[in-house]
Structures are given as C-alpha cells and as structure tokens.
Amino acid sequence: MSKERIKIAPEMFDIMPEEYQDLVDRATYGKEGRGWKDIGTSKELIEEHSLCAGCPESMAFRYILASLPAPEDTVMVGSTGCTSLVFPHVGVHNIHSLFGNQNAIASGLKRALSVRFPGQVKDVVVLAGDGATVDIGLDMTLQAWFRQEKFTTICFDNELYANTGGQESGLMQKGFVAKMAPVGKTFEKVKLPEIARESGCHYVVNCTVSKPNLVEKVIKNAIHVAREIGPTYLQLYTPCILEIGKNSMEGLQEMRDSEKPTERFAYKEYVSDEAKELLTELAAKEKERKAAAKKQLAGKA
C-alpha cells in the first residue's frame, strides 16, 4: 500500500540523487514484519548522521527506524539536542519542536491526524533527549500522559545536556561531575519510568540500546499499545561517549556494563493489564503470519 505514495515521477527518476532512488526502490516502507534484520540488506531510513563518531544515539536511531511498524504513516516529533541533528537525514516525516514542547506538539498532531484521517493508522512518535523530556519539557511530558494521549515518548537518556557541552540533567546520576556541572549532581537520578507508570503510561521500558532485537521488540510494543490504548514511554540509555570520556568504540561496552542486573539500566518493564491483553493478541497474530509465510515459502520451493 505505502509504496504507492512514494513514487518518483517517471520523467524525473534519472535526475534524482541516488539516495532518493534507493529510498523508493529498496527501502522497507510498507513491508510487513520489517525490523532490525533489514539493516544491511535494504535501504535504511537514515542516510548519514551528524553525531560524534561512535555515538550510541546513531545505533539507536538505526534500530528504531528499522523497527517502526509503519514508517510511511508515522510522524516523529523531535526536540533540540544531539538528536535534532539527525532528523534532517531521516526518511520519515518529522517535526522539530521548540525545546521541551515535543509532547504538546505531538498531542495536537495526533489529534489532528485522527480528525483528518479517520479510521487510518497514523503513529506519532516523540524522540527527544533527557534534558528536553525530563527537565525543560517535564510539564508537557507529564500532561500528555495524564491526558492519555495516544503516542509513544522515547527519551534518549545520555544523562546530561550533551549538545550544549555537558550541563546537569534530572536524569544524571547523583554525584556525577560534568564539564559544565563541576560541583557534581546533588540529588538522585529522577525515576521517570516509575513516574510514567504512575502518570498513566500503559507500556514503560527502561533499557539500553545494546541489543537490536530488544530495541525492535520494545519499539513495536510501545507503538502498538499507543495506537490502541494510550501513552507509552521508553527510556533508552544512549551514553554520550564524548562527555563520559570514552572512545568511539567504547559505547557498546558502556551500555553492556550499565545494563547488568544491579545497574541503573537493568531491563525494567511495566505493562498495564489492557496492554498485556493487546500484546498477547498481537503476538499470536504475528506467530500466525510467520507460520503462513513459512508455509508459502515451502510451497514455492
């Protein structure tokens, strides 16, 4: 269905830069069961990125974009920060909002889309840094959850304000000293996943982006629950290697170290009863789909 909407006019095809031709010919818009395994075999929905070399945010972006269930029917809402430098390279509709306003913009957008396209799937996904989500935008974040707005909020938690050189954020660990926060954080990391649960989110996960299959699972779950039931929240550790003094190759290990059972990014999940029911249903359908596809493949062989 979706590829119908991204056709280049035939007379213009040859003059289009290669990356656009690739997007139309080899991207996975509209592909059922798209996921992280498409990376490397199809055109990704991210062209390049302008993050620091080895920044885990770039991995996170790639996995998330590969996992969106319907990228052609998704609008992402970003905010100022390192993530906002990536959005211009992303092959999914996106809106840059004033720092901190992302969940307010997404609320209006989601409602407008439901009025404009009744009965059609239109996913709204917020993706912003911890400064935007937890500090300057906390009001907007919480109010959207209280109101049960049906979209997903993703926070790239790098535990500080990376884009402006390392100021203290609410998600920074207690005692941490950053370049622009020399005194050290005096209070605990804000427990936003718990707050999200108490504020009405139906699916909440706190984890790192070290495992692509896990990122795919939580993204799909969060978006499906938001589509059908209500707000969902993902807090993903994407360490700022620049600010914590790591090299380009060390981001992955940093995430692995921080997701050990006793660490602050040990996998944590909350699923409301309604969401559990929906996810069980969807899992059964997915199983059926895979079995049918397998059967079809065997029939062809």
Ligand X SMILES: Cc1ncc(C[n+]2csc(CCOP(=O)(O)OP(=O)(O)O)c2C)c(N)n1
Residues 164-203 interacting with ligand X (rule: CB under 6 A)? 164, 169
When binding is defined by CB under 8 A, the residue of 85, 95, 214, 279 that contacts other proteins is: 85
CA distance 254 to 240: 10
When binding is defined by CB under 8 A, the residue of 3, 31, 89, 256 that contacts other proteins is: 89
129 binds Mg ion (CB under 5 A): yes
Task: Give the CB-nearest residue to ligand X.
Answer: 129
145 binds ligand X (CB under 6 A): no
CA distance 129 to 22: 30
- ∠ at Cα 6 (71, 84), nearest 5°? 45
Residues 69-98 as x/- pattern, contact with ligand X by CB under 6 A: -----------xxxx--------------x
The nearer residue to other proteins, 14 or 32, going by C-beta atoms, is 14
When binding is defined by CB under 8 A, the residue of 2, 16, 39, 167 that contacts other proteins is: 16
The nearer residue to other proteins, 16 or 229, going by C-beta atoms, is 16
83 binds Mg ion (CB under 5 A): no
CA 237, distance to chain mean position in Å, is: 11
Buried-exposed string 98-120: b where 16+ CB fall within 10 A, e elsewhere: ebbbbbbbbbebbeebeeeeeee
The backbone region for 268, taken as left when phi is positive above 0, alpha when psi lies in -120 to 50, beta otherwise, is beta
56 binds ligand X (CB under 6 A): no
Stretch that binds other proteins, among 84-92, 124-132, 148-156, 191-199 (CB under 8 A): 84-92
Question: Which of 177, 166, 102 shows the shortest CA–CA distance to 134?
Answer: 102
- Least spacing, CB of residue 51 vs other proteins, in Å: 10
CA distance 223 to 109: 16
Structure tokens at 185: 């954080």
243 binds Mg ion (CB under 5 A): no
**C-beta separation of 259 from 265 below 8 A:** yes
Structure tokens at 283: 């899992």
Binding site for Mg ion (CB under 5 A): 129-130, 158, 162
Binding site for other proteins (CB under 8 A): 5-12, 15-17, 20, 48, 50, 85, 88-89
